[in-house]
A and B are shown apart, each in its own frame.
Chain A
């Protein structure tokens, strides 16, 4: 059992946890503790140091979108993303509820609203009180300052005017053509300007102290405000839910429509006169149509971040499979035939270093040429272009590794094939490919990593729903909250990239026959 777990950890590339398993089994505890400290303790400490530096540095830089978020703020942003996702799912579910389930959910929502409303209004009153209190406090503080400032400004303006008038008077008596006197006058004017400048600066500085007093934060008030906002947000969400459980609900809408239909039908049955009967018949048909439409409709859920993650992962795999489907056969041909290798080398060398940013617009236009109407297409062109860009950028490592693997099949194995007089295909499938498989998978692993990095940029550029688009939307939003959400993306992308890599390691290990250790 113990060795099975250890073996599984080894295959998954999680040798880090090896000492933990051994410790649980009671194998040489001091040694295992030492290893745990080294391989688990130190990384954790490093991470904590990183968090510490981040916490210290972040608030010290202010941007257009507020301060750089600290780890705590980022954590809150992550929670916010999740809450939004859960709530949207709840609304979608509410829309489709019917019968007793709907009534039960409705009762729950109403109870919560009843519970929250007094809390929210209490918070609002408290907030109002605090606001007035703080305002009067600020006014008290700022009042004398403001008076001083006003006086100073008046004084400065008067001084400036007086100096100007004196200069005009002087200029009046200035002899024409006397260069010396005019130079002296010029110096005086310059002196005057400098003086005005310094006075203005002094005024500005004074003003900024007043502004700082206004910006003074009252921690108590801030926390109440946050609490109040949270209540209000939830109330708003609940009122939406209420709507989707009552008037906006699908089954409610349908039953309403049907009762209307019954009325229309009876009106049609009793209608008299050609024109009126025709009208009534048309109304019945129209009503039937609208009921059918409601029955087909569903809640239009927005693209929440978790859904975008799923879409991105799907996109990277589509691109990765397209890329592999091109790279592996080409690589095999290159490895088998020197002619093919010679023919493809310039193309590989030329296209390999091209950046995804260049591929994407080209691919986007080409794909757009095939798909005329994005809304009705089987796949969205933006999705397809991102996937193809991923394929174009990620196929090279697989191509090169496959060619290398196929070309470097051991000569003895080829001799075996010759002695057995194997045909081309059995030589390929029984000797060459199995022998090249570990290298091919090493290439695939690199490809998937490259693809994942490329994908985010591709989605961002062609605004295909996914992580990249999320980042772009958050960037354009430009609030401090969306700034923090971009930091959340960094961690999500990193973790998913890590997981993809682990999956590839497991696959690579499972096909490698020589038991060669794969790099962590």
Chain B
């Protein structure tokens, strides 16, 4: 049995009769200390998947188990990094992390807690911004604070919901390297949701595509066998990388076409009307 297990999970929203099914029979199994990237188009139910993995949302059908135990509610052992950071704007960087640390490790003494928090601030290289408010930080810095807050809870699984998608390309590359470094330093099971194929290939051990919604499901995964550490500069010329990337892109675009073909045309059928040419008569 795997570390994190998702079996035939279905979920939908809305009342009966107007129901939209978001996920149908999605299954996933993640090994301990594995880095999984879930990749999908926008609107395909990625955030819903995250909500269920972290227990914020209960599936309608199927079960999600962590170490064989069903996940029924959120908790600090299911660390989540939100897409839009979710930092409390009235607390400083330190305060935001402290809120989590205090709750998760109530047994720590003051000095211990301080050391713990500062270790994680250091890990995401934010020591100079320790006492700044989120409003004074850039997007990348805010995402680092959010990451540090989640990491300081020392979760069993780290679930990241498009953590880098709101950032500009340079900051993004920078943070990707940081993520790898942190993961190497502090090994744990990671599920990352993303819409960037390159990012997925660069970071993950395995890539799981999410099919088009509605009623999306998780398709067969692509293992990434590239050796670590992966260097982004040389990666572009690496034939294996190129091959894998093309495969995934082909799979995704084909899926997109298929989905478009499958879509029921609910539009009104227009009568075939042509303008009458009065001058010709």
Taking Cβ atoms with an 8 Å cutoff, the residues of A that contact B are 410, 412-413, 415-416, 418-422, 426, 430-431, 434-435, 437, 513-515
B135 interface residue (CB < 8 Å to A): yes
Say yes or no: B103 contacts A435, CB within 8 Å: no
Docked-complex contact B104 and A420, CB < 8 angstroms: yes
Whether the Cβ atoms of A514 and B74 lie closer than 8 Å is: no
Given A420-B153, A421-B76, A515-B135, 17 more pairs with CB closer than 8 A: A413-B88, A415-B74, A415-B86, A418-B73, A418-B74, A419-B54, A420-B76, A420-B99, A420-B100, A420-B104, A421-B73, A421-B74, A421-B75, A421-B103, A435-B90, A513-B90, A514-B89
- A420 contacts B103, C-beta separation under 8 Å: yes
B19 to chain A, nearest CB (A): 22
Tell me the complex Cα distance, A405–B86, Å: 17
Which chain A positions have C-beta within 8 A of B84? 412
Within 8 Å of chain A (Cβ to Cβ): is B133? Answer: yes
The answer on a CB contact under 8 Å between A415 and B56 is yes
By a CB distance below 8 angstroms, the chain B residues around A426 are 103
Contacts of B86 in A (CB 8 A): 410, 412-413, 415-416
CA distance A132 to B99 in the complex (A): 90
Q: How many Å lie between the Cα of A434 and that of B89 in the bound state? A: 9
Residues of A within 8 A of B80 (CB): 415, 419
Give A298 to B213 CA distance when docked, in angstroms: 86
Residues of A near B89 (CB, < 8 A) are 513-514
In the A-B complex, list the 8 residue pairs whose CB atoms are closest, starting with the nearest: A412-B86, A513-B90, A513-B89, A434-B90, A418-B74, A420-B103, A419-B74, A416-B86
Which A residues touch B75, using CB under 8 A? 419, 421
B71 within 8 A of A: no
Cross-chain contact B56 with A418 (CB below 8 angstroms): yes
Interface pairs (28), CB distance under 8 Å: A412-B84, A412-B86, A413-B86, A415-B80, A415-B82, A415-B86, A416-B82, A416-B86, A416-B88, A418-B56, A419-B56, A419-B74, A419-B78, A419-B80, A420-B76, A421-B75, A422-B103, A430-B88, A430-B99, A434-B90, A435-B88, A435-B90, A437-B90, A513-B89, A513-B90, A513-B133, A514-B89, A514-B135
Distance in angstroms between the alpha carbons of A416 and B91 in the assembled complex = 14
Q: Which residue of B lies closest to A422 (CB)?
A: B103
Q: Is B76's CB under 8 angstroms from A513's CB?
A: no
Contact with A along B53-67 (1 / 0, CB 8 A): 010100000000000
A207 to chain B, nearest CB (A): 80
Complex Cα distance, B74 from A412, in Å, reads: 13
Q: Which residue of B lies closest to A418 (CB)?
A: B74
Give the chain B neighbours of A434 by CB distance below 8 A.
88, 90-91
Q: How far is the CA of A422 from the CA of B80 in the complex (A)?
A: 15
Instruction: Report how far A437 CA is from B86 CA in the complex, Å.
Output: 18
The answer for the CA separation of A334 and B212 in the assembled complex, in Å, is: 41
Question: Which residues does B use to contact A, with CB under 8 Å?
Answer: 54, 56, 73-76, 78-80, 82, 84, 86, 88-91, 99-100, 103-104, 133, 135, 153
For A431, list chain B residues within 8 Å (CB): 88
Give the chain A neighbours of B54 by CB distance below 8 A. Answer: 419
User: Which chain A residues border B99 with CB–CB below 8 Å?
Assistant: 420, 430
By beta carbon, the residue of chain B nearest A410 is B86
A421 to B103, CA, bound (A): 8
In this complex, the member of A412, A420, A421, A515 whose beta carbon has the largest number of chain B beta carbons within 10 angstroms is: A420
A418-B74, A434-B88, A513-B135 known; A412 vs B82 contact (CB < 8 Å): yes
Distance (Å) between the CB of B190 and the closest chain A CB?
16
Q: Smallest distance from the beta carbon of B93 to chain A beta carbons, Å?
A: 14
Residues of A within 8 A of B91 (CB): 434
List chain B residues, Cβ under 8 A from A418: 56, 73-74
A422 to B73, CA, bound (A): 13
Instruction: Name the A residues within 8 Å of B82 (CB-CB).
Output: 412, 415-416
Enumerate chain B residues within 8 angstroms of A419, measured Cβ to Cβ: 54, 56, 74-76, 78-80
- Looking across the interface, which residue of chain B has its beta carbon closest to that of A426? B103
CA distance A430 to B133 in the complex (A): 16
Query: Could you tell me the distance between the alpha carbons of A413 and B146 in the complex, rounded to whole angstroms?
Result: 12
- How far is A430 from B100 in the complex, measured between Cα atoms in Å? 11
Residues in A neighbouring B76, C-beta threshold 8 A:
419-421
Contact residues in A for B100 (Cβ distance below 8 Å): 420
CA distance A514 to B133 in the complex (A): 10
| Distance (whole angstroms) from the CB of B125 to the closest CB of chain A | 23
Chain B residues with CB under 8 A of A416: 82, 86, 88
Contacts of B88 in A (CB 8 A): 413, 416, 430-431, 434-435
| Of B74, B82, B84, B104, most A-chain CB atoms within 10 Å | B74
Q: Which chain A residues border B104 with CB–CB below 8 Å?
A: 420
CB-CB under 8 A from A430, the residues of chain B are 88, 99
Nearest Cβ in chain A — how far from B205, in angstroms? Answer: 25
Output the residue of A415, A419, A435 with the most chain B CB within 10 A. Answer: A419
Closest residue to B136 on the A side, CB-wise? A515
Q: Which residues of A contact B79 (CB under 8 A)?
A: 419
Q: Which of chain A's residues have a CB closer than 8 A to the CB of B78?
A: 419
Q: Quick one: closest A residue to B78, CB to CB?
A: A419
Whole-angstrom CA separation of A437 from B80 in the bound complex: 27
Report the separation of the CA atoms of residues A10 and B89 in the bound assembly, to the nearest whole angstrom: 20
Closest residue of chain A to B100, judged by CB?
A: A420
Name, among A418, A435, A515, the residue most crowded by chain B CB atoms within 10 Å (CB to CB). A418
A514: chain B residues within 8 A (beta carbon): 89, 135
What's the nearest-Cβ distance from chain B to residue A9, in Å? 21
Contacts of A513 in B (CB 8 A): 89-90, 133, 135
**Nearest chain B CB to A28's CB is how many angstroms away?**
27
Chain B residues positioned under 8 Å from A422 (CB to CB): 103
* Residues in A neighbouring B74, C-beta threshold 8 A: 415, 418-419, 421
Minimum distance in angstroms from A430 CB to a CB of chain B: 6
Separation of A413 and B76 alpha carbons in the complex (Å): 15
- Chain B residue at minimum C-beta to C-beta distance from A434: B90
Report the minimal beta-carbon distance from B31 to chain A, rounded to whole angstroms: 24
| Complex: chain A residue closest to B51, CB-CB | A415
Between B73, B86, B133, B135, the greatest number of chain A beta carbons within 10 A of the residue's beta carbon is seen for B86
Which residues of B sit under 8 angstroms from A412, Cβ to Cβ?
A: 82, 84, 86
The distance from the CB of B23 to the nearest CB of chain A, in whole angstroms, is 19
Q: Determine the distance from Cα of A309 to Cα of B84 in the docked complex, in whole angstroms.
A: 51
CA distance A26 to B100 in the complex (A): 49
With both chains docked as a complex, state the minimum distance between the C-beta of B158 and any C-beta of chain A, in angstroms: 12
Across the two chains, which residue of chain B brings its CB closest to A411?
A: B86
Q: How far is the CA of A56 from the CA of B194 in the complex (A)?
A: 75
Q: With A and B bound together, what is the CA distance between A418 and B82 in angstroms?
A: 13
Q: How far is the CB of B185 from chain A (nearest CB, A)?
A: 23
**CA distance in complex: A413, B91 (Å):** 12
Smallest CB gap from B134: residue in A: A513
Q: Which of B76, B82, B89, B91 has its CB near the most chain A CB atoms (within 10 A)?
A: B89
